[in-house]
Amino acid sequence: MLTQNTTNVVIVGGGTAGWMTASYLSKALQKNVSITLIESSNITKIGVGEATFSSIKSFFDFLGLQEHEWMPKCNATYKMAIKFVNWNTNKKHFFHPFERLDIVDGFSISEWWMKLKKHSEPFDYSCFAAPTLCDSQRSPRYLNGEVFDSRVKQLFSDEHFSEKRLITLADAEGQYPYAYHFDANLIAKFLKDYAMQRGVKQIVDDVIDVKLTTEGSIDCVHTKGNRSITGDLFVDCTGFRGLLINKALSEPFISFSESLLCDSAIAMQVPTNIKKDGINPYTKATALSSGWVWEIPLYGRNGAGYVYSSAFISKEDAEQEFRQHLGPVCQHQQASHIKMRIGRNRNSWVKNCVAIGLSSGFVEPLESTGIFFIQHGIEELVSHFPSNSLNEELIKSYNQAIAKCIDGVRDFLILHYHASDRTDTPFWKATKHDIQLPDELSQRFKLWKKRLPNKKNINPYFHGFETYSYSVMMLGLNHVPENSLPIMEYMDDHKATAQFRSIKEKTELLNSTLPSQYEYLTYVMKSQEQSEYLNENLLDAV
C-alpha cells in the first residue's frame, strides 16, 4: 500500500537512467512525493559517447531546458541521421535520417522512387535532404537558432512552389528532425544537479540487501553504510544486474539471443581535432566481420565501440579488429569490455518495483534506442503512476506498453541483419540462416520482397520507428522489392518528378546556407561562456 499523504519513491542506481528518472519525476510529480536516489561510488563509468533518438528533444523540453543551457556542459552535438557503412555487398553507404518521406498523390515518394529512379539515383539522396547535409557536416540550426526545416517551410511555400508538400518530423508529436550525441557521464551529472535542485535526495552508498514483505513486495533496501531505506515505489536503475527486479523479485528475463546474435561490446574514447576535421552530424555504424562499430562525434572527442557476437570472435580478436578499424588514433587508448544482456523482462513492473533502462530491457545500440527506452519507460510510468494503492490493471497496461515497444525495436533490428545481402563471414551467414525470426516478422519479409513496407504491414505497436525507417533500411541493405506497385503504372508522373526536383532544390538551398556543425556549436559555446561571465561579474558587482 502507498501512504495517503506522501508517496516515497526510491530510485536504486544513478547514471543516465537513474538521473533521467529522478529529474523527470521531480518535474512531473509536483506535490505529495518524496524522491530518493541511491547510487554507488564504486560503479565503473565507461564514459563513451551516447547517441539518441529524435524523441529525446521532448524530454529536455518537458524539463524546461534549452539547448544552450545543457549541450555545452555535456559536450553534446547534433545528430541528423545514422550512416551505415559496409552493410551491403556493394559496400555503398546509406543514411537513415530523422526525416519523413514526402507524399505525392497519396503515395510515399519512396514508391515513386521505385518507379522512376530505382536504377539511376540512390534512394536516400533522392528522397531526403539530410544525407547531403551530413556529408557537408552541416548544423540543423542557423546561427540565429532557427531550425533548418522551418526555413524551408518559409522559402518553399505553396506560393513559391505549388507542388511542394513538406512533411517533417517537427510536425509530429514527440519527433524532431534531429537528435543528440552527448557524454553519458556529463549528462548524468547535469541532470543530477537539476534533480537535486528540485528536492531529490541523493544517498551515495551500496545496496547490499533487499527485504521483502510477506506479500512479496519490496519493504526496504539495506546499504553497506548500515542504512535501511523504505519506500512505497522502488525504481530499479541498476543496469544489467537487475538488482531489484530480477535478483530480489525473481522476475524472469526473456532473451532475444535466438534472433539477435551480438552479445558483447568494446568501448573506447577516441581523440579528435574538431577544428581541423569538423564534427559529423550523424552516428556512423560500420559493419565488420562479426558485428559493427559505432562512432559517435562529441564536441572535443569521439566515442567508439565494437558490438559483436562472442560466438564468432574472441574478445582478444575483436579488440584487434576494432583497433585496426580505428587506426593509429586509438593506439594509446584504453578499451572497456562489456557483456550485454539482450532481451527484456517478462514484466518491467512487478509489485511495487519498476525497472527503467538496462534493468528493464536492451536490444543492442544499433539504432540508439537505449536512451529512448529510458525515456519511454519514464513517460509510461508517469502516465500509469499509482495513487494511494497499486492498481493491477494499470500495472498490466504499463507492462504491455513496455513489452510491445521493446519487441517492436527487436523486430526492426533483426531486419538490419537479416535483410542485408552480406554473407561473406560466418557471422553474416548466420544472420540469414541460423537466427529465429518471430512469426509475424517472417511473414512480413515475404511481403516486403514484393512491395515496400507501409504503415499497414510493419509492427503496429509503438516503438519509435515509422514506415520510412523500414523502407530506408530495406533499400539500403539491397533488399529491394522486385517491382514498383502496379498501381503506379496507371498514374501520371509529373507531380512526382516535380517533387524530386523540389527536394533537390531544398537540399541545395540548405547546404549552401546552413553553418557547419563545428561553427554553430562553437558559436553557442562561446555565447554561453560570455553570458555566464557577464552574470558572474554582475553578481560580484552587486
**Active-site positions?**
79
**DSSP structure class, residue 540:** H
Alpha helix (H) residue ranges in 53-182:
56-63, 67-70, 109-116, 123-127, 130-135, 148-155
Distance CA 49, CA 459 (A): 30
Comparing CA positions, the residue from 4, 463, 47, 100 lying closest to residue 296 is 47
CB 452 within 8 A of CB 474: yes
Alpha carbon of 382 to those of 56, 128, 251: distances in Å?
Answer: 16, 35, 22
Which residues make Cβ contacts (< 8 Å) with residue 186, sequence separation at least 6?
Answer: 73, 74, 75
User: Nearest-CA neighbor of 394 among 380, 375, 374?
Assistant: 380
What is the residue type of 256?
Answer: F
Beta bridge partners of 268: 304, 335
Alpha helices in 236-338 (DSSP H): 274-277, 315-326
First-to-last C-alpha distance (Å) of the chain: 51
Rounded to 5°, the CA angle 137-49-14 comes to 145
Instruction: Name the pairing type of β-strands 218-223 and 207-212.
Output: antiparallel
Closest to 114 measured CA to CA, from 98, 100, 127, 131: 127
The single-letter code of the amino acid at 130 is A
Chain centroid to CA 493: how far? Answer: 37
Cα separation of 377 and 361, whole Å?
Answer: 10
Whole-angstrom Cα distance, residue 404 to residue 399? 8
Residue 190 in 3-state DSSP? helix
